[in-house]
Amino acid sequence: MAVTADHIRDKLTKELEAVHVDVEDTSPNRCAASFKVLVVSSQFEGKPLLQRHRMVNTCLAEELKEIHAFEQKTLTPEQWEKQKSQ
């Protein structure tokens, strides 16, 4: 089964209670093997970057086996608001 951007968005929204998820398919030929995600969740609050990324990796463990390249950015709702206003 090919991993889709929608699938990734749904899973992160559900399992990490993300309030905002951006998924960009960055594979050169759109073969759905390379993604860039932005995840905004209050579950990240008080957690260091490494731990946040590990949460995303764990959530997408199955999918990551199929994904060749994966970039991620993890923000708390507060950081997200701040970034938007910049």
Q: Residue written as tokens 């993604």? A: 35
One-letter identity of residue 61:
A
Instruction: Please state the closest distance from residue 40 (CB atom) to other proteins, in A.
Output: 15
The answer to whether 38 and 73 are in contact (CB under 8 A) is: yes
Stretch that binds other proteins, among 9-17, 39-47, 54-62 (CB under 8 A): 54-62
Query: In sequence order, which ranges of 37-86 are alpha helices (DSSP H)?
Result: 49-59, 61-64, 77-85
Structure tokens at 76: 């708390």
Quick note: the x/- pattern for other proteins over 1-40, rule CB under 8 A, is: ----------------------------------------
Q: Which residues bind other proteins (CB under 8 A)?
A: 49-50, 53-54, 57, 61, 64-65, 69-73
